[in-house]
Amino acid sequence: MKMKLFFIILIGVLQLVLSSCEEPFEGSSDIQGGQIVIYGRVSNLLDDTYVEIGITKNKSSKPAEVEGATIQLIDGEGGITEFCEKRLGIYAPSDIDFKGTVGEEYSIRILLPDGREYVSSKQEILTPTVIDRVNAEFVKREVIRETETSSILNFMELTIDSDFIDLEEEKFIRWDLEETFTIFQTVFPSPMPRYFTCFVNQNMSLQRLNLVSTSALSNSKIEGIYLGDRLVDYAFGVKHATEFFQRRINEEAYNYWIDIEKVSTISGSIFDNPPAPVRGNVSNSQNSDEIVLGYFEATGSTVRRFFSYGAELSEPQEDPCIFSGFRVNYASYCRNCLNHPNSSYEFERWYATDEEF
Amino acid sequence: MHFRAVFLIVLLLPIKVFGQAIASSDTLVIVGSNPANQTPQLMLSGSVETSGGIALPNANIKVKNQWKGTSTDDNGNYEMKMEPGRYSLMVLHVGMDTLDVDVIMVESGSLKFVMNESLVSLDEIIISGSKPSDNFEENIAGVERVPLSEIMKMPAFLGEADVINSITFLPGVSRAGDGASGFNVRGGRADQNLILFNQAPLFNSSHVLGFFSVFNSDIIQGVTLYKGHIPVNYGGRISSVLDISERAPDFEEFKIKASISNVIAKATLDIPLKNQKTSILLAGRISYSDWILNQMEDPVLRNSSAGFYDVNASIFHKEKDHLISASFFRTGDNFQYSNEFGFEWSNTTANVGWSYLIDERWNNDLKASYNNYDADFLDLQGAEAGTLKNGLKYFQFKDEVSFEINNDHILLGGVEYINYQLKPERIQPNSENSSLRSDEVEKGQGHQIDFFLSDELTINERFKSSIGFRVSNFIRTGPDQIYIYDTIPPALATEITDTLVFENGEKIADYHGFEPRISFTYILSKENSIKLSYNRLYQYLQQISNTTSATPTDFWLLSNNYILPQASNNYSLGYFQNFGFGKFEVSLEGFYRDQQNQIVFVDLPDLILNPAIERELVQGKGRAYGVEFLIKKNLGRLTGWLSYTYSRAEYFIDNQFSEELETEKWIPSPYDIPHQFSFLMNYKVGLKNNFSADFVYNSGRPYTGLSSAYILNGTVVPNFSDRNDFRMPSYFRLDLSFTINGFIGQQKKYKDRLQLTLYNITFRKNPYSIYFRTPVNFKFPQAYKFSVLGTVFPSITYSFEI
């Protein structure tokens, strides 16, 4: 509830009583970018360990990817796992079967092509906790737009039931949501029509962090933990999979994510706490004054999946890439489905076989 | 009334029979009957009181066209040496019609002035709550008085006259923005102001999070703000004292006063008992804003509710030398945002007072108060549905004794004791489906006992001094547990090495403070003076709040072994000038305040239910300095004031303990507003109507801006700059009001008025905050300006009095 207080905190108290308003502000700012961002995760799950390196840009939330880094994952006994660049700026263990060991401590060492070296603190993979059930319910919501007109939209409301077994030991949990869906490239009339299918795998963009400390709970078994609403759009046209990750993290990581939540969910109400820069556990080993953004964490993770099919929805979604003789403008990913962020021609095996675990 | 058409001759006989003559407005009074008894020096004495028989302290009796006058004491009595002859006297008092009386002094005698409450606009409107000459003669720098009559004329938000809003037009006083609770004086935090209602401290002075104050203007006598020199009988805060007193009820006539506006209704009853020595004052005020919410398009808003209430009940009993009073005050707010969350708070204050005139020189004032404050925050949804509670209560006892050695020399001394009992911060589930675990954090208790003494001396016609001191003593006691850390300050500690448990009443820490309070006035000529003051102040109780405006989750915390008492040194130097026999007043006042143990929170502190709250803050130095200019026009059809303030407020964390917490430079505080400009005008239209306008301009407050942004595990994270590196756009607002007195018809027994108000007439969207919201789909955070009032707010208020 403590986190929730800051999150929900009386957003509309004054809006309620009065005609309070908000409008874009183009005032003074000092957006320059240039800070390095390092996010790393080691997990007990397959394909769940990676490091992402970027440099912040002016007026862009997506940092510029840093290529050519040398990354080592070091375990508590000095054992080293080498990483290779899987995608631009994203590095994963060279051993594709790598899974972190529960109870083991890990740290990372990163060497950039320009010679800068970064190291993280040690983080231990804690014993994962159990997901009882995941729930996805399709609901209609009235949404007030910035133009102050309202409309009814379909959403997928995601909740989870979990069992933390006992509350003797304080546990810190973060839930992540990822999604995988299919997009078809537009088939334009041609003597030799080209059929391409891409698969998008990405973090669900909810701009919301789901965190809990079991010290705040009276019952180890909790039901209906609300994780977020996903707007039902073209991603649900064919097949959509939601992955629920329940990640057990340590207290230091929990406090870091709480701070991230505070600065990323500011509502602008009169109750907002002043924002501040958030610093993680990665530092430049040659220059301790350099600001390094991001965090390296070890997670004991559990995953459950939920699948939905376009044909089963009460209001099927229209394919935005379907060819029409009267249309001129197509989204760039309709012309080339690889233009869609986080897309590829490959997909995970569980996506094809509907594996829920 | 200021008509000079009627003269009444009061002969010697009634003076002899009844002890003193009675003068109402526009009266010619002959004091004495036998010219043969003329002596060079005669004494005119008597009293000033209302038509209801209530003594009026601090009324000013002035001899026109002469630099001569006096004022009434706490019991409404006065004495003035005069030579035989004819004089034109003017009697002035806050909220009362000015009396003009012609007096022919024949021999020493007694004269009682009876004043009427000012209900209609007059030819002469006294802007100052005190006599005009106070501006330069009164021996206090940095004191502002706003008379009730002035507050009632100001354009008010939704038509509800507001004490707190009225003082924000004074130089050196500002607000964080529309709807911010509390106020800031000379760059101080809101919790550094001592707000007294009937001499009892209040801990929440705002309704609807700051749009209305808890003070019902129908029962207020006057408002005094001490921001420079703080008299010795006030203590406990390091920025200012706002003293609001309740008026005494009418002792002779039963009266009903009521008003109704768009969202608020209120009523007041004056109920004198048969003996005319005892009278009861009852007042109630309630809001009904839900009908506005029901008009909203947003279904969430439609299902929400907001409201507040105040109840006042007082009884006064007067004997020859005694005034005994007992009062009860309960106020509260409730708010619910659909079925998602809400809050409610209530404050109950009860006090009894006994003012005793021991003899002509000695006066004793006893006061005992009890206060209980509760605040709940309700989270109504989901697995973590729960109620967060906090609050406090206190018992206060105060005894003030004044001894008048002679007209020019007064001693004031006394003792004040307060027992603070902070309630544990508590959370508990509020639904069967909630998985929330109950928890509580003790906040402990404290005892503060202060002694004070001052010597008010008029050394000669030009030089006055007020030299005094206050000794504050504070003991922090359990129940509480205190952590021992591996390093000091706790904000840098990595672990807790031990825990000390203190039982109820067991001493945890104690502090003492010597607080000199010194003020000098040098009168340069008949209408100007310079004033100089130095004050040291201590504060042992602070509100833990990291937001610009107070929230329902904020709580109060007493100093302990880690959180040291805040202290300030306050210096003021001012030049004061009157023109045109008090028609104009001008002041130019400079101030400097340095603060010790200023509380500064670490980045993104965790303040709620945190038993180790000391880890979330550091204490550093603060400073505020500036110049305040004020010009007032007190008399004529057009009255009002104009003020300008240049001031700065900053803090600094030195590296006494650690470079990590050090600030490399002075950081502007959230209340650092360099330029403040305001004006207020009232213009009498015809005989009974009044047009008012006010305007306020403040330069923008500091805020923390954006440096860059990045994506972390699917979340876009704004990367913020150093604290308070940027400034918001400036604030300005223009309000207008038109008051029709005697709307239905002014009669002796029925008086009414209709007030039309346009608040924020320029539709200005003044910034409350600048924040950065991150849309979905990984877009770059967008800066938004949040404005609480986005349009003009018209209102109509009708009030009547029977």
Of B599, B625, B626, nearest to B613 by C-alpha is: B599
- pLDDT mean over A195-204: 89
In terms of pLDDT, which residue wins out, B131 or B11?
A: B131
CA distance B86 to chain A (A): 59
pLDDT for position B124: 36
CA distance B165 to chain A (A): 17
- Flag if A12 and B437 touch (Cβ within 8 Å): no
CA distance B522 to chain A (A): 45
- pLDDT mean over A104-125: 95
CA distance A257 to A274: 17
pLDDT for position B407: 83
Q: What is the pLDDT of residues B481-490, one digit of tens each?
A: 999 999 888 8
R_g of chain A, CA atoms, integer Å: 22
Mean pLDDT of the residues in chain A? 85
Q: Is residue A8 pLDDT above 60, yes or no?
A: no
Q: Is residue A258 pLDDT above 80, yes or no?
A: yes
CA distance B371 to B775: 46
Mean pLDDT of the residues in chain B? 84
A162-176, B131-145, B151-165 — which is least confidently predicted? B131-145
CA distance A142 to chain B (A): 8
- Token couple for B117: 């409450």
Label residue B132 by pLDDT band (50, 70, 90).
low
Q: Is residue B711 pLDDT above 60, yes or no?
A: yes
Q: What are phi and psi of B87, to 5 degrees?
A: -135, 150
Share of chain B above pLDDT 90, in %: 41
* A-to-B residue pairs, Cβ atoms closer than 8 angstroms: 290
- Owner of token pair 């820490």: B509
3-state secondary structure of B365: strand
In terms of pLDDT, which residue wins out, B383 or B462?
A: B462
In terms of pLDDT, which residue wins out, B717 or B102?
A: B717
Of B712, B700, B702, B707, nearest to B676 by C-alpha is: B700
* Chain A environment of B713 (Cβ under 8 Å): 39, 41, 176, 203
Q: What are phi and psi of B38, to 5 degrees?
A: -60, 135
CA distance B624 to B668: 10
Q: What is the pLDDT of residues B514-553, one digit of tens each?
A: 999 999 999 998 888 999 999 999 999 999 887 766 676 7
Mutate to test the interface with B, among A6, A23, A25 (most CBs of B within 10 A): A25
Q: Is residue B309 pLDDT above 50, yes or no?
A: yes
Q: Is residue B416 pLDDT above 90, yes or no?
A: yes
Q: What is the pLDDT of residues B211-242, one digit of tens each?
A: 888 999 889 888 899 998 999 999 999 999 99
- pLDDT mean over B547-563: 82
Q: Is residue B287 pLDDT above 50, yes or no?
A: yes
pLDDT for position B194: 95
- pLDDT mean over A10-24: 53
Q: What is the pLDDT of residues A43-93, one digit of tens each?
A: 999 989 999 999 998 777 778 889 999 999 999 999 999 999 988 899 999
B residues 738..777 contacting A (CB < 8 A): 765, 767-777
Strand-pairing partners, residue A42, are A298
Share of chain B above pLDDT 70, in %: 88
pLDDT for position A143: 76
- Flag if B436 and A217 touch (Cβ within 8 Å): yes
Of B757, B749, B759, nearest to B792 by C-alpha is: B759
CA distance B395 to A261: 41
Which of A4, A223, A293 is nearest residue B710 as measured by Cβ atoms?
A293
pTM: 0.80
CA distance A228 to A7: 13
B residues 395..434 contacting A (CB < 8 A): 427, 429, 433-434
CA distance B197 to chain A (A): 26
Q: Is residue A268 pLDDT above 80, yes or no?
A: no
CA distance B361 to B402: 8
pLDDT for position B311: 96
Angle at A222 between CA A217 and CA A223, to 5 degrees: 145
CA distance B793 to chain A (A): 9
B794 touches chain A (CB under 8 A): no
In terms of pLDDT, which residue wins out, A26 or B46?
A: B46
Q: What is the pLDDT of residues B319-360, one digit of tens each?
A: 888 999 999 999 999 888 777 788 889 999 999 999 999 888
- Flag if A207 and B776 touch (Cβ within 8 Å): yes
pLDDT for position B138: 74
* Chain B environment of A167 (Cβ under 8 Å): 437
Evaluate whether B166 touches B146 at the Cβ level (below 8 Å).
yes
Which of A30, A62, A150 is nearest residue B778 as measured by Cβ atoms?
A62
Label residue A14 by pLDDT band (50, 70, 90).
very low
Label residue B24 by pLDDT band (50, 70, 90).
low
Q: What is the pLDDT of residues B64-99, one digit of tens each?
A: 766 677 888 877 888 888 877 777 888 888 777 788
Secondary structure of chain B: what % helix, strand, coil (to 5)?
5, 55, 35
Q: How far is CA B238 from the centre of its chain?
A: 14
- Owner of token pair 């306008």: B693
* Chain B environment of A258 (Cβ under 8 Å): 606
* Chain B environment of A207 (Cβ under 8 Å): 715-716, 774-776
CA distance B434 to chain A (A): 8
Burial class (CB in 10 A: 0-12, 13-18, 19+), A165: middle
Mutate to test the interface with B, among A37, A208, A271 (most CBs of B within 10 A): A271
Burial B738-777 (b: 16+ CB within 10 A, else e): bbbbbbeeeeeeebbbbbebbbbbeebbbbbbbbbbbeee
Per residue, the 3-state secondary structure of B560-588, as one string, reads CCCCCCEEEEEEEEEEEEEECCCCEEEEE
pLDDT for position B608: 86
CA distance B378 to B684: 49
Strand-pairing partners, residue B355, are B323, B365
CA distance A5 to B468: 46
- Flag if B787 and A12 touch (Cβ within 8 Å): no
Give B163's DSSP letter.
H
Which of A30, A60, A259 is nearest residue B721 as measured by Cβ atoms?
A30
- Flag if A266 and B179 touch (Cβ within 8 Å): no
pLDDT for position A29: 59
pLDDT for position B546: 73
pLDDT for position A17: 45
Q: CB count, 10 Å around CB of B37?
A: 12
- Token couple for B244: 């609001």
Burial class (CB in 10 A: 0-12, 13-18, 19+), B644: middle
**N-term to C-term CA, chain A:** 30
Mutate to test the interface with B, among A6, A7, A14, A255 (most CBs of B within 10 A): A14
* Chain B environment of A266 (Cβ under 8 Å): 718, 771-773
B723 touches chain A (CB under 8 A): yes
Burial class (CB in 10 A: 0-12, 13-18, 19+), B342: buried
pLDDT for position B9: 23
- pLDDT mean over A222-232: 87
B residues 686..715 contacting A (CB < 8 A): 703-715
- Token couple for B21: 């003559």
Which of A5, A37, A59 is nearest residue B553 as measured by Cβ atoms?
A5
B548 touches chain A (CB under 8 A): yes
Q: Which residues have CB under 8 Å from B742's CB, separation 6+?
A: B120, B688, B751, B752, B753
Evaluate whether B225 touches B185 at the Cβ level (below 8 Å).
yes
* Chain A environment of B722 (Cβ under 8 Å): 277
Of B739, B627, B631, nearest to B680 by C-alpha is: B631
pLDDT for position B122: 34
